Amino acid sequence: MIETEAGPYVAVSVHLESATTAAYRERQMKELIDRVETAFPRLPILIGGDLNTGNHAGGDFEAEGLFALSAARGFIRHGGAIDQMTTRPSLITRWPERAMKLDWFLARGLTIGHSSITSSLDRSGRPLSDHDYITCRIDGFA
């Protein structure tokens, strides 16, 4: 829980399973939301991280049921430009030609003003990670 002058909100960092199906990730998200709601009833929630969306679905992140599930629970999806991928080849990437959009924020009860994706390359062009990082600006409570 994060305290602000306007009141508290809950921030959750998550890394959903990659070596499974979209249906399994949807169940993971349902259980996560259920537990956060139980622990912090009525508080605004920001969930962010590697949701592994599109894995084993040809990279089609829209095939993920977790987005419909979270929307039905009042969450709004944020993740920078919809066509901008969040993965990149790293020093140990097994499939360097594959780029995917795996990283997202899901917000409920918060007004997100802007979300963006920032390159994880250092000044020399060397990758620091196989994921670029996503950020969002919270403008207030919804």
**Does the pTM of the predicted model rise above 0.85?**
yes
Instruction: Give the Cα separation of 105 and 95 in Å (integer).
Output: 25
Confidence at residue 131, expressed as pLDDT on a 0 to 100 scale: 95
Tell me: the pLDDT tens digits for 65-102? 999 999 999 999 999 999 999 999 988 888 778 899 99
User: What are the structural domains, with CATH classification, of the chain?
Assistant: 2-141 (3.60.10.10)
Tell me: the pLDDT tens digits for 110-122? 999 999 999 999 9
Confidence at residue 75, expressed as pLDDT on a 0 to 100 scale: 98
* Nearest 10 degrees: Cα torsion 123, 14, 113, 117: 30
Confidence at residue 66, expressed as pLDDT on a 0 to 100 scale: 98
